Structure 1
Amino acid sequence: MEQHPRDGIPVGISACLMGEEVRYNGGHKRSRYCLQVLAECFRFEPFCPELEAGLGVPREPIRLVGRLGETPRARGTVTTERDVTDELEAVGRTFVDAHRHLRGFILMKGSPSCGLERVKVYHENGMPSHADSGVFVRTLRRHFPELPLEEEARMNDPVLRENFITRIYAMDDWKRHVEPSPSHHALLQFHSRQKFLLMAHEVEAYRELGRYLAEAHRVPVEDAMAHYLGRFMAALSRPATRKTHTNALMHVMGYLKQALDGETRRDLLAAVEEYRTEQVPLAVPMRLLNHYLRRHGSEYIRRQSYLDPHPYELGLRNAI
């Protein structure tokens, strides 16, 4: 894939994960993985919505309060009548307006502002009720729905980690090659590069967006781009499985069937089958495919983002 700027891809992150002492107790939740691994690729932009909302450090903790089926409010745990929901939502809207350049956001688990999911919601009497998302996250989803979001703790799961970073790089492709000069042609070129990545995540989205683009010239380019990006990023948010990866691998192999001899084709098929049956990670068949595609593949197939969706040095496909 094309090289990225030396200063890295811009990604938002909860400030406490960067080691900043912004938590309610004056502490932090420094993430070694983010700072020691991902910082090699990303330019992190730390943000704490609670601090930005003027709650101070240290501060009275807040929690989500509400009934099942209602949108929970962010309230003080001691001064229970204190409601800071509106302030956090306003901070979120201002943040989105100033950060449309971001390619993703890494969030702090369990936070009433930054928690992605499974954040405890309490009854008025202080008893746990159910779970929801943090106030800041709800605002991001409402006003910047295509932005890839993930909790730092969930990236311990290799499938979720690879999925999130794949989405960041796909968003980066969009931001660099489609948004600066919007056109139907740029949209078609993006789709052409992303076809097999899309297929590996959701075959129906791959088919649906192909049909949509065949008629997209009939609508204003801004509308076509908004529709496409929303559906594309929603599809990529569904982690690919061994079954869907196997389907995409077999389609990519089709571009080599005339160039390879029978023994080489059998070796490739064996590698794909070993991946499908969980004997080897995805990196094994991908490495073989890339080797032969470099020698025999057309320019079209070699440009597929699926073959190289994120830096090889991260080793993300060695664990899935």
Structure 2
Amino acid sequence: MEASIKIGISACVLGENVRFDSGHKLSRFVTNELSKVFEFVSVCPEVESGMPVPRPTIRLISDQERIALVETKDASKDHTQSMLDFSEKRIDQLSKQDLCGYIVCAKSPTCGMERVKVYGKNNADKVGVGLYTKELMERMPWLPVEEDGRLNDPVLKENFVTRVYCLHDFYQSMGGEPTAGKIVAFHSRYKLTLMAHHPASYKELGKLVARVADYSIDEFFQRYRTGLMQAMANRASRKNNTNVLMHIQGYFKRDLNAEEKAELCQVIDDYRIGVLPLLAPMTLLKHHMKRTPNEYLQHQKFLNPYPEELRLRYGL
């Protein structure tokens, strides 16, 4: 597998000693598994914005109508504006690199994606987002972003990797020159995937594609990309996956004998009730596809969203 898909990542998650105590937060999954398929773009907002290593700890505080980034032991040392200035420039650079995802460090006042502590006068609530990551998600709303710790959850891990490969496929399909025809063809290949992730968004994107003539190609590209990735951010549920599997099953009704049909129905139902992982019906469907190829199904990314070597559907 070639490491050709660029994703941004907090430097400490890669094992770089950039934290306040000169330590790191190395993720074994990232370095042992994802490094085989992704090319990492390492960023440490704190160091790159001028803070030393080691350094005083910092935190977010609720300062009247704004969230401020200050030093823990001396709130008069305010790093808010310097971090915002850095974030704007760095994210502008990243937006030109066709990043397909971003892994951030959990709980960090600069990089945390959710539930970051925000300190008030008398208490601390886990309601914040790191200043850098907040800017990242606002300026690049289509970008898959996930925290390092959440990647230990098999469902969240699979969803993040699926989104990364989807966005990469989208960019590759455009070839640097988006056209309405290319986007429509891409959408056709992702119909079943979108049905599994978010049926309502599947319908909305279908309406958008049908009105392609109403937009300039740049506006259509931007609208479709954002809508696509927001839809993919919804995790594919067992119920939606089952509906898609049954939909695919319909393509084989004339090719399978009674025994094979019964077996396929049983495997899909066993997945529906949680007895078998998604890998089981998917493997059986691919077996039948080899015997009776179907051009439409062969092009559907639902069946092969990412390299099988990642083994992400084993526990779903």
Provide TM-score, normalisation by structure 1: 0.94
Q: Which of the residues 60, 67, 70 maps onto 1:64?
A: 60
CA 154–313 in structure 1, closer or farther in 2 if over 3 Å, else same: same
Q: Secondary structure at the match of 1:131?
A: strand
Q: How does 1:101-112 map to 2 (within 5 A)?
A: 101-112=98-109
**Which residue matches 1:116?**
113
CA contact (8 A) 1:63 1:121 kept: yes
CA contact (8 A) 1:162 1:317 kept: yes
Cα displacement (A) at 1:95: 2.0
- Which residue identity lines up with residue 115 of structure 1 in the other structure? G
Q: Which of the residues 134, 137, 153 maps onto 1:138?
A: 134
Cα displacement (A) at 1:120: 0.5
Cα displacement (A) at 1:184: 0.2
User: Hey, what's the Cα distance between the residues in 2 that align with 1:266 and 1:111?
Assistant: 52
**1:287 matched to 2:255:** no
**Which residue matches 1:51?**
47
User: Hey, what's the Cα distance between the residues in 1 that align with 2:118 and 2:45?
Assistant: 19
Q: CA RMSD in A?
A: 1.5
- Which residue identity lines up with residue 8 of structure 1 in the other structure? S
Q: Which runs of 5+ in 1 are unaligned?
A: none
CA contact (8 A) 2:46 2:83 kept: yes
**Which residue matches 1:9?**
5
User: Hey, what's the Cα distance between the residues in 2 that align with 1:316 and 1:309?
Assistant: 10
- Which residue identity lines up with residue 113 of structure 2 in the other structure? L
User: Hey, what's the Cα distance between the residues in 1 that align with 2:307 and 2:315?
Assistant: 14
Q: Secondary structure at the match of 2:69?
A: strand
- Which residue identity lines up with residue 46 of structure 1 in the other structure? S
Cα displacement (A) at 1:179: 5.6
CA contact (8 A) 1:255 1:297 kept: no
Q: How does 1:86-101 map to 2 (within 5 A)?
A: 86-100=81-95, 101=98
Query: Deviation per CA, 1:212-266, whole angstroms, max 9, x where unpaired?
Result: 2111122111111111111111111111111011011111222222222222121
Query: Deviation per CA, 1:50-108, whole angstroms, max 9, x where unpaired?
Result: 1111011111111010169x542111111211221222222222222222321101111
Q: Which of the residues 256, 262, 275 maps onto 1:260?
A: 256
Q: How does 1:166-315 map to 2 (within 5 A)?
A: 166-178=162-174, 180-315=176-311
- Which residue identity lines up with residue 97 of structure 1 in the other structure? D
Q: Secondary structure at the match of 1:239?
A: coil
CA 71–283 in structure 1, closer or farther in 2 if over 3 Å, else same: farther
User: Hey, what's the Cα distance between the residues in 2 that align with 1:177 and 1:114?
Assistant: 31
User: Hey, what's the Cα distance between the residues in 1 that align with 2:47 and 2:275?
Assistant: 48
- Which residue identity lines up with residue 308 of structure 2 in the other structure? Y
- Which residue identity lines up with residue 106 of structure 1 in the other structure? I
- Which residue identity lines up with residue 44 of structure 2 in the other structure? C
Cα displacement (A) at 1:308: 0.7
User: Hey, what's the Cα distance between the residues in 2 that align with 1:266 and 1:223?
Assistant: 48
Q: Which runs of 5+ in 2 are unaligned?
A: none
CA contact (8 A) 1:256 1:297 kept: no
Identity of aligned residues (%): 38
How many residues end up aligned between the 2 structures? 314
- Which residue identity lines up with residue 113 of structure 1 in the other structure? T
- Which residue identity lines up with residue 103 of structure 1 in the other structure? C
- Which residue identity lines up with residue 34 of structure 1 in the other structure? V
